[in-house]
Each structure stands twice: as C-alpha cells, then as structure tokens.
C-alpha cells in the first residue's frame, strides 16, 4: 500500500514517535499550524473514523491523553483542540485515520472555524 501513514507505521519512513500503544501512535505534524501540532494515527489502515472498530476507543483516548501530557511537559499550553476530517468534502487529505491535536495558548489568535 502506498499510504504515507502506513509507511510511517511500518517504519519504512522514519519518524520520531511521541507516544504509542498497541493500535495508535503520535508524531509531530510536518506542517504545523501551531506550536506542538501533532497527529494521532492508527497503526492499521482505516480510511476514516467510520472504519475504526469501537473497541479501539479506549486506546485512542489513551494515545491522545499521553501525547498531550508529553508535549505539554514544561510548555505553557492552556488547552488543546482535536480535529478529525472524514472524506474529501470535509477536508480529509490523507485517507488514513488520524486526529490533529492542536495545543493552544491564551491569545494565540489561531482560529479553527470562523
């Protein structure tokens, strides 16, 4: 499969993992929108959130929580956004399930929706 996230998951493309568990891992986004912008990605290829078995929900939340705690250690983030796009019309570019974790600071002036 020629999927970039599958290649990263298999180790064919090197990436520094922030956190990983059995079914998910996180890495910093190659084109960050804010400081600390990272991605939580499924290790197996699921095209979007509708394809993920609900039984993986606990591991997904585990990866999100541990990722934010690791990247915020020593940083002054006051919150974070999770953004997940499904299908092209909603802005999904890479057809492999992933969530954008966007750390936030008060007054950072970053707008997700206007």
The DSSP bridge pattern shows strands 79-83 and 17-20 to be: unpaired
Asked, for residue 111, whether it belongs to a domain, the answer is no
Q: String of b and e for 53-87 (b: at least 16 CB within 10 Å)? A: eeebeeebebbbebbbeebeeeeebeebeeeebee
pLDDT digits (tens, 9 = 90+) for 6-60: 999 999 999 999 999 999 999 999 999 999 999 999 999 999 999 999 999 999 9
Cβ-contact 36, 77 below 8 angstroms: yes
Give the active site residues. 98
Structure tokens of 98? 């992933």
Q: How many domains does the chain have?
A: 1
Asked, for residue 72, whether it belongs to a domain, the answer is yes
CATH of residue 49's domain is 3.30.428.10
The whole-model pTM stands at: 0.94
Q: Which domain holds residue 29?
A: 4-104
């Amino acid at each position: 499969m020629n999927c970039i996230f599958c290649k990263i998951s298999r180790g064919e493309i090197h990436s520094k993992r922030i956190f990983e568990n059995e079914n998910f891992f996180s890495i910093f986004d190659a084109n960050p929108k804010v400081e600390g912008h990272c991605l939580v990605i499924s290790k197996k290829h699921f095209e979007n959130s509708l394809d993920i078995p609900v039984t993986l929900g606990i591991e997904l939340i585990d990866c999100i929580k541990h990722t934010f705690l690791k990247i915020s250690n020593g940083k002054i983030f006051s919150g974070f956004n999770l953004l997940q796009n499904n299908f092209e019309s909603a802005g999904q570019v890479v057809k492999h399930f992933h969530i954008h974790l966007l750390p936030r600071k008060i007054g950072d002036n970053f707008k997700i929706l206007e």
